[in-house]
Amino acid sequence: MGSKRRKGGRNTGAMSVVFIVIVFVVVMSIQILKLKEKDKLLLEREQTLQEQLAQEEQRAEELKDLDLYTRSMEYIKEMANKMGLVFENEIIFKESGE
């Protein structure tokens, strides 16, 4: 009878090891799936941020061009004309209101 118990004890130990390995594989599989999902979300966020960066770089370039334009003589003349200012030797003709 003692040998039967021993054989059963070995079988139970092997089954315990197999169960632990299966649990470990399941847990690791779940973690891998979670990491893949998180990686996908991070890649989408990175793409969105890259697009925003490109837009902001374009906007910065436009602002730089606008800054250069506002410092030009053409812009100064345009703003002066809108305010009704003229050069000393300049004559302005206006249409009559009739």
Domain spans of the chain, in order of start: 2-82
Q: 0.85 cut: is pTM over it?
A: no
DSSP helix/strand/coil, 91:
coil
Residues 9, 15: contact at Cβ < 8 Å? no
Task: State pLDDT tens for residues 2-54.
Answer: 444 555 456 888 899 999 999 999 999 999 999 999 999 999 999 999 999 99
- What integer pLDDT is reported at residue 67 of this predicted model? 94
Residues 78, 72: contact at Cβ < 8 Å? no
